[in-house]
Amino acid sequence: MGTADLHIHSTYSRDATTTIRAILKQAADVHLNVIAITDHDEVRGALEACKLAYQYGLEVIPGAEISTKEGHLVALFIEEVPPIGLSLVDTLIFIGKAGGIAIAPHPFNGLPHSLNMESVVGALTNARAKAVLKGMETHNMGTQAFDSTAQKLSIYLPLAKIASSDAHVYWAIGAGRTEFDGQTAQDLRRAIENNATRPIPYDEEFSAKAIFSWVRRIALRRFGYASDTASASQPINTQKLSQSFIRKLRKK
């Protein structure tokens, strides 16, 4: 049995506060077998993580959280980001051509950037899009107060049930996990495609302390700081992002 967190943001997302190495270290420390790094319309961090993952004893699925015209879509097993702002169906077809699959993140909650029922059912009635849209988050730690519609509707939809953290801070990684038979990324992919995953939701309410810590880290990120670590054996600390990284982020 393996566990995965399939929705994690790194410093390649401008609103996230964890470097690639800090994500890998934390994911290993909380005993995840597989993670997906899913930055907003960005895959460079995920590809970096794929190369480093062996040092941490886990597997990384390259992915991204794509801004479609109808809302966010988590793409997995892709090395190229689809154009921003396509319809959900066209984005799914692009992901399929690139060899990937997709998960509807934080759906049906009425929040901005969330897919609604009409969009998801519309995609499922298109054979090429249906072959790619394989999962939905029934639990997203960041939107947990709004997830009940997704949980109810998931019973009727042919989509694997996924619990994810949507972590933008390092301590949230693994707070929302998906269990699957096997240990590897390919085992997980098979489980998602066969609608055979088990969501393990985060079972605590957000505490005031957690919210304060999150706000503090976002503020630090604005000033160029992030949670970082040099290696699997080094603790995670607040470090200034390097100028070369900041230049790289701008270059896109």
The residues binding Zn ion (CB under 5 A) are: 65, 72, 105, 166
Q: Which is nearer to Zn ion, 86 or 187 (CB)?
A: 86
CB of 10 to Zn ion, least distance (A): 11
Q: In what order do the strands lie in the sheet with 133-140?
A: 160-164, 133-140, 101-104, 71-76, 59-68, 34-37, 2-8, 177-180, 198-200
Q: Which is nearer to Zn ion, 59 or 166 (CB)?
A: 166
Q: Which is nearer to Zn ion, 2 or 105 (CB)?
A: 105
Which residue's beta carbon is nearest to the bound Zn ion? 72
Q: Which is nearer to Zn ion, 6 or 157 (CB)?
A: 6
CB of 166 to Zn ion, least distance (A): 4
CB of 20 to Zn ion, least distance (A): 16
CB of 172 to Zn ion, least distance (A): 11
